[in-house]
Structure 1
Amino acid sequence: MEVTCPWCGNEVRLSGDICPECKHEVLPEHLEEKESGMFGEEEAQKADEHEDVINEIHAIENNFVCAKCGHNECKAAEVAMTGAGLSKLLDVQHHHYLFVSCLRCASVEIYDPSVLRGRQAGAFGTFLDVL
């Protein structure tokens, strides 16, 4: 049975509780919230940010050329990490990066999604994580 993923908006056949497109957990209550329009503002904001990252990953994977070996196949993933000081103590992971690994030579390139988008992202989600 195909469903519309509430996170990426694609029509997908779930693999367990995981969307094969965006790799986000899709539970029955997520589907009910999406259908009833009860998706909260913070969930909608996180879903939009997650969709932006998925689109950026696809764009990077489709246009990738390794700087070291010239190979064009890669694997990309988002990584979140804390900063120093209070964010480290509270485990608030407000630094987000895209790590892209060449599938031939294993070289890794790091991209800052906020620079790719031209705006800072995740501030609303980080604020909610603190609460």
Structure 2
Amino acid sequence: MENGCIKCGSQDADTKEVAMTGAGFAKFFDVQNNQFTVVFCNNCGYSEFYNQNASKTGSVLDFFFGG
């Protein structure tokens, strides 16, 4: 069973896809080449970022809740 948010224990979480700029030339030209899934608690706002390339297996919500 899921433990809930590590900060407040809430089971109410959601996800959002975000892109961020890297370093070097990517930063200079504002190329957002880093893709992440953000899992956030709707109760307290605690957030965790998961690299989309590294977290394709399993649900990021399972990782967030410690499953």
Give identity over the alignment, percent. Answer: 38
* Alignment gaps of 5+ in structure 1: 1-62, 119-131
TM-score (norm 1): 0.38
May I ask how many residue pairs the two structures share in their alignment? 56
Could you list the runs of 4 or more consecutive aligned residues of structure 1 that deviate by over 3 angstroms after TM superposition?
A: none
Q: How far does residue 75 in structure 1 lie from its aligned partner after superposition? A: 2.2
Query: Secondary structure of the residue that 1:66 maps to in structure 2?
Result: coil
Structure of greater relative contact order (alpha carbons < 8 Å, 6+ residues apart): 2
Indicate the structure (1 or 2) with the bigger Cα radius of gyration. 1
Structure 2 residue ranges without an equivalent (≥5): 58-67
* Root mean square deviation, CA, Å: 2.0
- Which has more helix, going by share of residues? 1
Relative to structure 1, the CA distance from residue 64 to residue 101 in structure 2 (aligned partners, 3 Å threshold; closer, same or farther) is: farther
TM-score, L = length of structure 2: 0.68
Q: Higher strand share goes to which structure? A: 2
Structure 2 residue 3 is matched with structure 1 residue 67: no
